[in-house]
Structure 1
Amino acid sequence: MSNKLVRRAIETRLAQWAAARTPALRIAYENVAFTPVNGETYLRGFLLPAATGSNDLAGQHRVYRGVYQINVVAPIGLGPGAVEGIADELATLFPLNLRMTVAGFTAQVIAPATAAQGGQDESTFVLPVSFQYRADTV
């Protein structure tokens, strides 16, 4: 199963960018302990795989498709400008047709990274940014 490799390819690129950014951004990954600091802006990453397909009669081909979502989480009351700026940076980081290779496995961005409607709770404003990916193996 290569959803693990898709995740690794995407999250490696995301982590390198987030660490090199000024200011750096921490990332809350799925099923990994994370405690945000009061007033911190951070990211949350989610791999949302679709059903694995096969496009050959021999059953050797596999196509992995899905969506990777990155939530930009910021303290409430600062306005949307800062998180929208981060969303623009993410769109540049994951452009259409980007190919990411890890361990000989290549995943490709097949739809531009796009921000959806933001939302807020008592203490945070969250702007989801997502893109579609595809990876083929034989």
Structure 2
Amino acid sequence: MSHAIIASIYEAKLLAWSKARAEPIKVVYENIQYDPADGETYLRAFALPGDTASSTLAGDHRAFIGVYQVSIVAPANTGKTKTNPLVGELSALFPLYARDTKAGVTVVTMSSADPGPGITDPPTFTVPVSFEYRADTV
């Protein structure tokens, strides 16, 4: 259940940021169909939970570890002019060691939000931006 809470924390943070931008940007979450307009840049967000661990023999501790990824989907053949500014904004939105809390679960951003290699798949160019997270509960 805590992986779902963690995903909702990051989804809410991403949505609030996207709406507050001078030029709002569409955010599409898992299992949502979206047909972008021609030439539109948008974001796809994914929570990629890892194994839940425990550091105690009693089993009363849980470590929820995973990766959160925001893929920037831009039109192909636009270079990085659409994606690079968004990479910077996402890195600032999810800073290293940031703590966010909801429903008694505090999640920590455990790595910087960095871009992966761009993926060209005409008619789009996708740049994944991801970071590791961790939440410990007792």
Task: Give the TM-score, by structure 2 length.
Answer: 0.96
Equivalent position amino acid for 1:45 in 2: A
Alignment match, 2:55: 55
- 1:89-129: CA deviation from partner (whole Å, max 9, x where unpaired): 10000000001111221111000000011011121110110
SS in 2 for 1:81: coil
Partner of 1:130: 130
1:42-74 CA-partner distances (Å, limit 9, x unpaired): 000011111000011111110000100110001
User: Considering only aligned residues, what root-mean-square deviation do their CA atoms show, in Å?
Assistant: 0.9
SS in 1 for 2:67: strand
How far, CA to CA, are the matches of 1:43 and 1:111 in structure 2?
20
Alignment of 1:83-94 (within 5 A): 83-94=83-94
Q: CA deviation at 1:81?
A: 2.4
The number of residues matched between the two structures is 138
Structure 2, gaps ≥5 residues long: none
CA distance in 1, matches of 2:95, 2:79: 26
Shift in Å at residue 35 of structure 1? 2.0
Q: Which runs of 5+ in 1 are unaligned?
A: none
1:34 Cα offset (Å)? 2.0
Instruction: Say yes or no: does 1:101 pair with 2:121.
Output: no
> Aligned with 1:52: secondary structure?
strand
Structure 1 residues 1-138: aligned runs within 5 Å? 1-138=1-138
Percent identical among aligned pairs is 44
